[in-house]
Structure 1
Amino acid sequence: MVPAAYVLLIDDGRVLLQLRAGTGYRDGFWAAAAAGHVEAGESVHAAAVREAAEELGIVVDAADLVPLTTMHRTNRTGLEIDERVDFFFTCRRWTGEPRTMEPERSAGLGWFALDDLPDPVVPHERHVLDGVAGGGLPAITAFGFR
C-alpha cells in the first residue's frame, strides 16, 4: 500500500486546486493543491504539514487538519504501486499566501466553489470533493473496486 496525505484548503465555500503539469500522472487535471506520499517514518499529519509547505509555501498547524475521509483505492492493475490508502484532511486556517512552489509540476492554482468545480478533476479526488459539497463523507471510503 502506498499512503498519501491530501490537504483541501477551504475558504468561504471554495477549495484551492492546482492544475497538474509535468508529473506524468493526470497532467491537465485539477487536483488538491497540497498532496503527496507519506515518507518512511513520517506520520500522515506530518506529511500533510510538509506537503502544504513544499507545494504551497504555507504553514499549517497539524491541529488545524480536520480528518475528512480515508480512501482505500485501487487502479486494478495488479501492481503494488496502484494499491493506495489516501488520508484526506480539510484545513481552514494557515499562515502565508498559497502560491505555486513547484512550477515544473503545476500549471497554476485556482479557488473554486465546491459546487462549481473545474473539469477535469482527478477522479478519486472529485469523488471526495463531491462528498464535501454534498454535506459529508463516511469515515472510510473505497474507490476503484468493482
Structure 2
Amino acid sequence: MSERYRVVPASYVLLLRGTGERTEVLLQMRAGTGFMDGHWAAAAAGHVEAGEDAAAAAVREAREELGVTVDPADLVPLTAVHRTGRTGDPVDERVDFFFTCRRWTGEPRRAEDGKTAGLDWFALADLPADTVPHERAVLDALRDGDVAAVRSHGFR
C-alpha cells in the first residue's frame, strides 16, 4: 500500500456513569507506552487490528485493558476524530473512533501491567488538566452536548 493512503485506525471506549452534571468518565494515567505518558486518557483504547471493525476493537480493548466485558450493542458511537501529528510519518495520521458505554460486566481494573499508572473516575465537569489533548476535546464536547459526528485535530 502506498504511504499516500496510510491512516491508522483506533477505537476508544469512554465508560460513563451518572447523569447530567454528575456524569463521570473512567480515565487511565498513561505510563510505559511512549505516547503521552503521564497524561490521563480513555480507560480503554487501542489500534483496530487487521480484519477487525471499530466496534470489535472497542470490545477487545475494554476486555484487555480493563478486564470488563462489553456487549457490542451497549457501545454508542460518539464521534470520529481525524488527527495528525504533523510529522510526515504515516503512523501519525489517525482516525479515532470514540464510543460511549454505560453498561458492562465486571469491575474495571488495571488489567495491563506496565501501561497504566492509575485508573480513576472523573466528572466531565472537572477533568484533569493533564488529559491527552485530542481526547480532552472530545470529552469537553460531550460535557457541553456539542459532539460533531466527525472532528479534526492537529491540522491547524
TM bucket (normalised to shorter chain) is over 0.9
Task: Tell me the equivalent position of 1:107.
Answer: 117
1:89 counterpart letter in structure 2: F
2:15 counterpart letter in structure 1: L
1:133 counterpart letter in structure 2: R
- Equivalent residue of 1:133, what SS? helix
- Equivalent residue of 1:28, what SS? coil
Confirm or deny that 1:72 pairs with 2:82. Answer: yes
Distance, in Å, in 2 between the alignment partners of 1:64 and 1:121 is 25
Distance, in Å, in 2 between the alignment partners of 1:61 and 1:106 is 24
Match of 2:100 among 83, 90, 98: 90
Question: Following TM superposition, by how much is the alpha carbon of 1:103 offset from its aligned partner in structure 2, in angstroms?
Answer: 2.3
Query: Identity percentage over the alignment?
Result: 68
1:44 counterpart letter in structure 2: A
Report the more deviating stretch, 131-140 or 8-17.
Answer: 131-140
Runs of 4+ residues over 3 Å off in structure 1 = none
Structure 2 unaligned residues grouped into runs of 5+: 1-6
Distance, in Å, in 1 between the alignment partners of 2:120 and 2:34 is 21
Confirm or deny that 1:26 pairs with 2:18. Answer: no
Task: Tell me the equivalent position of 2:71.
Answer: 61
- Equivalent residue of 2:114, what SS? helix
Computed over aligned residues only, the root mean square deviation of the Cα atoms, in angstroms, reads: 0.6
Question: Following TM superposition, by how much is the alpha carbon of 1:118 offset from its aligned partner in structure 2, in angstroms?
Answer: 1.2
TM-score, normalized by length of structure 1?
Answer: 0.99
Distance, in Å, in 2 between the alignment partners of 1:136 and 1:35 is 22
Task: Tell me the equivalent position of 2:133.
Answer: 123
TM-score, normalized by length of structure 2?
Answer: 0.92
CA deviation vs aligned residue, 1:87-119 (integer Å, no higher than 9, x gap): 000000000000000120000100000010112
Distance, in Å, in 2 between the alignment partners of 1:74 and 1:139 is 18
Question: Following TM superposition, by how much is the alpha carbon of 1:135 offset from its aligned partner in structure 2, in angstroms?
Answer: 0.8
Task: Tell me the equivalent position of 1:7.
Answer: 13
Residue pairs, 1:30-45, within 5 angstroms: 30-45=40-55
2:61 counterpart letter in structure 1: E
Aligned length: 146
Question: Following TM superposition, by how much is the alpha carbon of 1:136 offset from its aligned partner in structure 2, in angstroms?
Answer: 2.7
